[in-house]
Amino acid sequence: MKIKAVRFAKLKVPLVTPFKTALREVSFIEDLVVLIDTECGQIGYGSAASTPVITGDTHQGMIAIIQQFIAPKLVGQEIENINQLTHIIQSTVVGNSSAKAALELAVYDLWGKLYQAPLYKLLGGGKSELKTDITISVDNIDKMLRDCQRAVEQGFDVLKIKIGNNLNQDIERVKAIHAGFAAKTQLRLDVNQGWNAKQTVFALQQLEKAGVVLELVEQPVKSSDIQGLKYITERVNTPIMADESAFSPKQVIQLLELGAVDIINIKLMKTGGLSRAIEIANITAQYQAECMIGCMLEGSIAVAGAAHLASAKAQQISKIDLDGPALGQYDPVQGGVEFSGPQICLSDAPGLGIESITGLELITNGVWPA
């Protein structure tokens, strides 16, 4: 199975409710879809969201990088040589992790189709049913409580609470949500780099004294503040998780060697795809550290790849935060992974299992070779 061409398309899905964090607010899932055509007629699918404030990637930037540098090296290559293909994707340019992730997803999709097996089985097996948390966007307390209630009614029993835009308000938000929902759910906090180290220690000590039990706190400080993460971890009982501080295997080793965090959040858009995500999962196993598998605000193509990884690496990946498709008003992807409330079900169709995609808008000038 030989790569013939690389194409691009846009895919846009409105959200049920606006997605608000300490860094941004959006109302749509907007994916760049990468399609890899083969000479035998098979198509591999991958996708990535535009996240300039997190990974630095935009849709136009991803198209340019892939067209000018990576696609010319992939066309003509055999899909069976999966390690060679991922090496080309990772080594041709530095950075550009979301562009690399979209390409790797499409390549791995074709790899599964080549061997007529679902991706999670090729990556090591695992269970076909997973369960995700759901994100509650930062807002006024009443709105967040209503969103929590709606999530519980939909069957979610793990809530990831977005905070980080006002320390004192954040503490009150968490107390209110804990009072209303701790008996029914587990609570995770995502601060999105909104506090500094001393603020985090103050807030968590206040919450701990009030009896608030949290499963974890995600990335409370700036991504570069590794010493800040260590400072926090040494002073609180609540587990601390790195997200934006953990893009690469090297960064993960540094965090774990320093004892700076308890948990690593793996996201394909940060690692540059499945190959390095697998490497990070293996590293955390050596350090006996937990992993979460997460996603940016991308749709079900990319999140399907993350779900296959979560199944294959279930011994390392103990926490799942793959609610991106659940936040959309509908899922435009038919076949493959089914997202239904908190339930994620992987099919045994080859690769990612995608059969068709509704609303895909091909970018006519986005083909290599032209």
- Residues labelled catalytic: 162, 267
Helix (H, G, I), strand (E, B) or coil at 343: strand
Q: Which residue has the tokens 């999966």?
A: 82
Instruction: Give the 3-state secondary structure of residue 224.
Output: coil
CA angle 83, 86, 90 (to 5 degrees): 135
CB atoms inside a 10 Å sphere around CB 131: 14
Nearest CA to 138 out of 182, 100, 172 is that of 172
47: left (phi > 0), else alpha (psi -120 to 50), else beta? Answer: beta
Question: Which residue is associated with the tokens 């103050």?
Answer: 202
The dihedrals phi and psi of 64, each to the nearest 5 degrees, come to: -60, -45
Distance (Å, whole) CA 267 – CA 21: 17
Cα 306 from chain centre: 7
Question: Given its phi and psi angles, is residue 211 left (phi above 0), alpha (psi -120 to 50 degrees) or beta?
Answer: left
Q: How many Å apart are CA 330 and CA 15, to the nearest integer? A: 8
CB atoms within 10 A of CB 154: 12
CA distance 218 to 243: 7
Rounded distance, CA 330 to CA 325, Å?
Answer: 8
Q: Which token pair is 125?
A: 């097996």
